[in-house]
Structure 1
Amino acid sequence: MDRGGDGRSLWTDKFQPFGPVLPATDAITKNTTAKITSQHGLIYDKLISKFGVEQAKQYLAANEAAIQTYRELCRNIDCGFEEKAAYTYSLDDRCKIERELNALDKLDFPAEFADKLPLPFPVAGAVRFPNQAQFHPLKFVSGIAKGLHIYEHTRVRELIGTTAVTDHGQICAKKIIVTTHFPFLNKHGSYFLKLYQHRSYVIALQHAPDVDGMYLDEAQAGMSFRNYKNLLFVGGGGHRTGKKGGSWQELRDFARRHFPQAEEQYHWATQDCMRLDGIPYIGPYSASTTDLYVATGFNKWGMTTSMVSAMILSDLVQGKTNPYEEVFSPSRSILHPQLAVNGFEAVVNLLTPTTRRCPHLGCALKRNSIEHTWDCPCHGSRFTEDGKLIDNPATDNLKN
């Protein structure tokens, strides 16, 4: 299934047989910075602390295998695939960088320390990952989708076992994979507790420097940088959907200070599903469902982990084991501090009196004056000013 707001699409290639391996579509394929990397912020020190060395090593291996799969596929697809180094930097905490490097040393990964970056501000240090990549995801999808049977504008109203109910009839399948960005089945898996959504913003600048790499601040409120041809992408201004944040104005103020000769050519925003513990949910939809699978919670790293999803799910639907399935299991423990935050947001917004309510689970919607939308702070559904659905997990427009 393809992700969608005002509609859901079904795809099938009858797996021919169960191949080729294609990235799952939970990733934001458009409105992205399209980094293909196993460097997901300063994640490996945290993974080792929470799950141990072996599981952290499996997470890294899965994402490195995904990068290699992209390398092989992109040899025959004109999608601007470029190998670049990836950097996660800290403005003021060198100790965080050193802890991450120590963690990566335990995982036998050749990361490097850097403190001189071609960015317009000093840093305390950075972790450098060699041999990562960036590309044009829509060109990649156009190339990889040749030969597939794709049915668009086929809204799935309900899933009953492995039968998809649409406005025009029922589609029966042996197995179903749900990759609707935020899973829309509430009665299984507790994804409404395990996920929230986060908006972030990008501007594309002309006449700005070539930074020759991909850069990310380790702080959640920090900025990211990468080039595409003659443009510099500057990302940041993010916030939980339904909350206030810096949005494009923060990026424009930054560009005015540091790149006074630059000209903004494009701007866009995107939305990502954020998981509880740093690892996506890839595998059986829940412990109580059969022949139903999910991929979600990519936490802004959908280019790589969507390919990890394809690798895991293509094995699982064939009844095979996959070396990475345990690490990404959606049925793992949900005991994490973020669970309390998600629950608090849900309770507060369920009790907030307002006439604009999300049809997903009834939370109060908040007016987004920057993007002229109604946004749900509980689970991230978004609607136009006149109530048309933009982003799920809601499946219907607002009622007047």
Structure 2
Amino acid sequence: MESVWSESCKFRKREVLSRDIKADVLIIGAGISGILTAYMLKQNGRDVILIDAAEVASGNTKNTTAKITSQHNLIYHKLISEFGEKKARQYAKANELAIKKYKEIIEEREIECDFEPKSSYIYSLNEVNSLKDEIEAANKVGIDAEFVEKVNLPFEIKGAIKFNNQAQFNPLKFLKDISKDLIIYENTRAIEIKQNLVITNKGNITANHIVVATHYPIMNTPGYYFLRMHQERAHVIALENVNDVDGMYIDVDKDGYSFRSYNNLLLLGGVKQRTGENEDGGNYDKLRDVAKELYPKSKEKYHWSAQDCMTIDGIPYIGKYSDETPNIYVATGFNKWGMTSSMVSAMIISDMILENENDFSEIFSPKRFDLSLSINNLTKDIGETAKNFIAQKIYIPSSKIEHIRNGHAGIVEYNGEKVGVYKDNEGKEFIVSTKCSHLGCQLHWNADELTWDCPCHGSRFDYKGRLIGSPATKDLVND
């Protein structure tokens, strides 16, 4: 299962770290956020090294829908209401500047990455009052947005917000160009950070500045990001034989669908859920049913899924990792808007390291924490964590390994222990611990991806127990 981006662009292999080294700036994570930050710092003459636990752009970066937009659902009305107009303007300015910065880099370097100016739409099938409130708020903070009644989708809508001067592109083609002169060590996993020292599985790295751009932060303390975020998954299918929709679209309803065209394909997205809530599978089939209804002549070419870090107040955490670690920085919690948020991260963090003034960083500061604005989300996240942590401790499965059918998985009792078992279509058994190596929550099976996923903080492991994604830094214990 590869995304259309992965199929269209391959990166050259980078060497594995094989010795202890030093750098001015070390960036952990060679996805779009880390690469953009490294690129900006290198452009300013800084000595920068990146490391990645896998390969360049092999994580969530390759699974985006690649919309470069300041339209982040109904965000601006919420920002003005909760944080005030000044901070809402900071958020708007940062994301509008991010769009312009992409265009500037692409034109300056003449990068062939299918960059296209496109309008971005939030549509509604039911009511428009919330849309009109958002337009008023967006206009107030400097966004060019307007109300429209018709869009180029195969169904009637009540109305939509149209954000002008937005864009879309192929992110991997873009990154292949700007990363070619960067020093990157692949298959080099950061295990621990101690002040200016990063311990990896391949050697130690000493750096004056350390940027944690690992999607979900790998350090639990200080910072305590595991108390302030959860992760969600969303699914995409790419369809042939569909007309260009001429724009980027999302439904204001969280259970709705997104649309954007790329070359001769339509990217149809949706079916969102918290990581660890897909034991029965069938999410791609739900999208296929929608495709059959809306585009009966279409043919599926690709399908893939993405994972997003969701903050409790809907704003990314970008800046100093904590007050206790003045030389460590973080970029996380992009809330499904990774393209502009990655560029915003690169601008803010590079300005901090270069000691430049930045007039929009305040709204993104990880130090912010107004419990009154986020109590419902915080309570829900803590409840989910507690439930699955307790389940790992006390839940005793009644099923046995022989109850698992070929091609399926489940949690069973085996040799007196609770384990997760997957049987492939030939009946071969793959047995792993059900205890997440991050903080010990009980893992759940993901039938669509054949993975073990953590519903607490979103770590993921393949059916052999090998780590796929942070915040965990270790594989599962195999039984």
TM-score interval, normalised by the smaller of the two chains: over 0.9
Change (3 A) 1:248 1:175: same
Give the alignment of 1:382-393 within 5 angstroms.
382-393=460-471
Farther off after superposition, 151-160 or 173-182: 151-160
Does the CA-based 8 Å contact 1:25-1:180 persist in structure 2?
no
Q: 2:400 corresponds to which residue?
A: none
Between the aligned partners of 1:162 and 1:16, the Cα distance in structure 2 is: 23
Give the alignment of 1:143-154 within 5 angstroms.
143-154=177-188
Change (3 A) 1:66 1:4: closer
Cα deviation, residue 317, structure 1: 1.0
- 1:343 paired residue among 382, 398, 423: 382
Cα deviation, residue 266, structure 1: 0.7
Cα deviation, residue 15, structure 1: 3.0
- 2:146 paired residue among 101, 107, 112: 112
- Tell me which amino acid in the other structure corresponds to 1:349: N
Q: 2:17 corresponds to which residue?
A: none
Cα deviation, residue 104, structure 1: 1.6
Aligned length: 397
1:396 maps to 2:474: yes
- 1:80 paired residue among 114, 120, 125: 114
Deviations 1:315-372 (A, max 9, x none): 1012233111111000101511211111001100000025411010000001112221
Farther off after superposition, 192-201 or 320-329: 320-329
Does the CA-based 8 Å contact 2:291-2:298 persist in structure 1?
yes
1:131 maps to 2:209: no
Does the CA-based 8 Å contact 1:280-1:298 persist in structure 2?
yes
Change (3 A) 1:205 1:168: closer
Change (3 A) 1:25 1:163: farther
SS at match of 1:310: helix
Give the alignment of 1:190-269 within 5 angstroms.
190-244=224-278, 247-269=283-305
Cα deviation, residue 165, structure 1: 0.8
1:360 maps to 2:438: yes
Cα deviation, residue 61, structure 1: 0.5
Q: 2:11 corresponds to which residue?
A: none
Between the aligned partners of 2:140 and 2:59, the Cα distance in structure 1 is: 30
Cα deviation, residue 167, structure 1: 2.8
Give the alignment of 1:275-286 within 5 angstroms.
275-286=311-322
1:45 maps to 2:77: yes
SS at match of 2:439: coil
- Tell me which amino acid in the other structure corresponds to 1:339: L
Between the aligned partners of 1:270 and 1:43, the Cα distance in structure 2 is: 21
Between the aligned partners of 1:56 and 1:265, the Cα distance in structure 2 is: 40
Name the TM-score, length of structure 1 as normaliser: 0.94
Cα deviation, residue 311, structure 1: 0.6
Name the structure, 1 or 2, with higher relative contact order (CA <8 Å, separation 6+).
1
Between the aligned partners of 1:243 and 1:295, the Cα distance in structure 2 is: 26
SS at match of 2:132: helix
SS at match of 2:163: strand
Q: 1:295 corresponds to which residue?
A: 331
Query: RMSD of aligned C-alpha atoms?
Result: 2.4
SS at match of 2:111: coil
Cα deviation, residue 222, structure 1: 1.2
Between the aligned partners of 1:322 and 1:25, the Cα distance in structure 2 is: 28
Does the CA-based 8 Å contact 2:92-2:142 persist in structure 1?
no
Q: 2:42 corresponds to which residue?
A: 15
SS at match of 2:63: coil
Does the CA-based 8 Å contact 2:90-2:363 persist in structure 1?
yes
Q: % of aligned pairs identical? A: 50
Q: 1:274 corresponds to which residue?
A: 310
Q: 2:206 corresponds to which residue?
A: 172
Does the CA-based 8 Å contact 2:30-2:184 persist in structure 1?
no
Between the aligned partners of 2:284 and 2:28, the Cα distance in structure 1 is: 28
Between the aligned partners of 1:177 and 1:91, the Cα distance in structure 2 is: 42
Change (3 A) 1:105 1:53: same
Between the aligned partners of 2:311 and 2:260, the Cα distance in structure 1 is: 25
Between the aligned partners of 2:282 and 2:227, the Cα distance in structure 1 is: 26
Q: 2:223 corresponds to which residue?
A: 189
SS at match of 1:254: helix
Where does structure 1 lack aligned partners over 5 or more consecutive residues? none
Deviations 1:58-79 (A, max 9, x none): 1000001111010111111111
Change (3 A) 1:17 1:101: closer
Does the CA-based 8 Å contact 1:383-1:397 persist in structure 2?
yes
Cα deviation, residue 376, structure 1: 0.4
Task: After the TM superposition, list the runs of 4 or more consecutive aligned residues in structure 1 that deviate by more than 4 angstroms.
Answer: 11-14, 18-21, 24-27
SS at match of 2:349: helix
Farther off after superposition, 105-114 or 284-293: 105-114
- Tell me which amino acid in the other structure corresponds to 1:379: H
Between the aligned partners of 1:123 and 1:143, the Cα distance in structure 2 is: 40
Q: 2:350 corresponds to which residue?
A: 314
- Tell me which amino acid in the other structure corresponds to 2:137: A
Does the CA-based 8 Å contact 1:28-1:302 persist in structure 2?
no
Give the alignment of 1:28-107 within 5 angstroms.
28-75=60-107, 76-107=110-141
Between the aligned partners of 2:93 and 2:43, the Cα distance in structure 1 is: 27
Does the CA-based 8 Å contact 1:78-1:140 persist in structure 2?
yes
